[in-house]
Amino acid sequence: MSLRLSKIQKDVLNMLLDVYENSVTYKGKNIKNQSFAIKPEKIFFEYNGDYTDQDEVDQFNRELQSLMEFEFVILDYEKGIPVISKIKLNTNSINEIYSVLKREDITVKRNREIEMYTQYMGVYDIMDAFCKSQIERLNAYKDAKYTSDIAINILKLLKYMLGNNNDIMERELSVAVLGDTKLFEKSYKSRICSIIEEYGELELDLSVLDKKEKEKAILEEYQVFSNPSYIFFKGNVDIHYVDGSSISVTPDNPIAILSEAIARIEMIRVNSNRIVTVENLTSYNRINDKKSTFIYLSGYHNTAKQRFLKKIAENNSGVSWFHFGDIDPDGYFILMNLIKKTGISFVPLYMDIQQLIKYKQYCKPLEKNDMVKANSLLKIHFYDEVMKFILANNCKLEQEIISWLYERN
């Protein structure tokens, strides 16, 4: 059926269908006849207002009377006056109404969405868990979390990422799956990361990260990068690759290696007494010590980088390990995560109370989140004295100050 309906008429019919689709009758749970109705004020808020333009009321009534003539609705009137009191759905015309509105029956829609989610199950655990949760919602007559046009792109992106074995840039992923270089970052990045965090089993401590850092860390677990990721070396190091080639690094000739090349490294020989991982690039570039090897891991220490550190430790069993980061709860959470995930006995370097006292004038006050994290570390007795001092003196210090002034002195 092809009818030209006004906006008011479409709004009335759509609202009546909403009432119908949300009813127990529609869900097959009602054994009595049920009517589906709305008051005219739902559509025309001032329908019964004392100062409403009567011409507008008359036009509204005419449009509803037309719907009644099409046998789409049944109108109830106030006793003795031509004022509509209730607009009822004519259940005998439901199929025609769906057709006229070009609206998909919600049962058909739900079945189609269930089929879509089912097709993406059986390969990856994360997708199985996500799809199962959406199917359960649909079977309970609830909407899925995302509309189907968005959900299908999410499923395609997850499938691509979970099967990815090579470094890929975010814009490359976006154009490969969505046909648009910017659409992933604009519309899907946060959604994808949220799903992976909720349904995956990441071996990452994301509690210390803000939203941007958290998303970066999650994506890097699947070799998706906003920009090429590098590992920086500075010190006396020999790097041997599986193809037989090698590179020698010296304190005066540092090197940056693409994270994608980690898998091609067979062995790393460190020719110094200690290895220091550095949290921030500025401090890595500033600090120098001929007796140490410095490593900057370019961002959060994801699983691939943790495995890389383990490999270095296996090749250099007699070397001492240190970590240099910010003197704040986040810095100590990163240190704790390094120890926990690599099994290496990292010791904090330039991250003690003496540094806070020495550089007091450069300290910043704690934020609420810092206090929460400091108390969390106190509960597990991780560097209690430092956390107690930080809380008692309401202070924290960024490592860039220490590396800058250390080199000046």
- DSSP for residue 187: I
Q: Give the phi and the psi of residue 150 in degrees, each rounded to 5.
A: -80, -40
SS3 of residue 348 by DSSP: strand
Q: Per-residue confidence at 31, pLDDT binned at 50, 70, 90? A: low
Q: What is the pLDDT of residue 408?
A: 67
Q: Quick one: pLDDT at residue 337?
A: 87
φ, ψ (nearest 5 deg) of residue 14: -65, -40
Structure tokens at 242: 């599986």
pLDDT at 343 over 60: yes
Residue 223 CA, chain-centre distance (Å), reads 16
pLDDT digits 0-9 by tens, 234-271: 999 999 999 999 999 998 899 998 887 888 999 999 99
> Is the CB of residue 2 less than 8 Å from the CB of residue 102?
no
- Record the pTM: 0.69
Residues 363-367, mean pLDDT to the nearest whole number: 95
Position of tokens 């269908």?
Answer: 17
Compute the average pLDDT of residues 206-212: 73
pLDDT score for 147 = 94
Packing angle of the helix pair 54-69, 7-21 (nearest 10 deg):
60
Show Cβ contacts of residue 375 under 8 Å, excluding neighbours closer than 6 positions: 387, 391
C-alpha dihedral sign at 161, 164, 170, 176: negative
Length of the chain counted residue by residue: 409
Q: Are 324 and 277 in contact (CB under 8 A)?
A: yes
Mean of pLDDT values over 96-105: 92
396 bridge partner residues: 364
Please give the Cα distance from 150 to 144 (Å, whole number). Answer: 11
Can you tell me whether residue 324 is helix, strand or coil? strand
pLDDT at 290: 86
Q: Is 1 exposed, middle or buried (0-12, 13-18, 19+ CB in 10 A)?
A: exposed
Output the six-digit token pair for 41: 């004020």
Q: What is the band of 299 on the pLDDT scale with cuts at 50, 70, 90?
A: low
Does position 202 have pLDDT exceeding 70, yes or no?
A: yes
Q: What's residue 204's pLDDT?
A: 64
- Cα–Cα distance, 295 to 218 (Å, whole number): 22
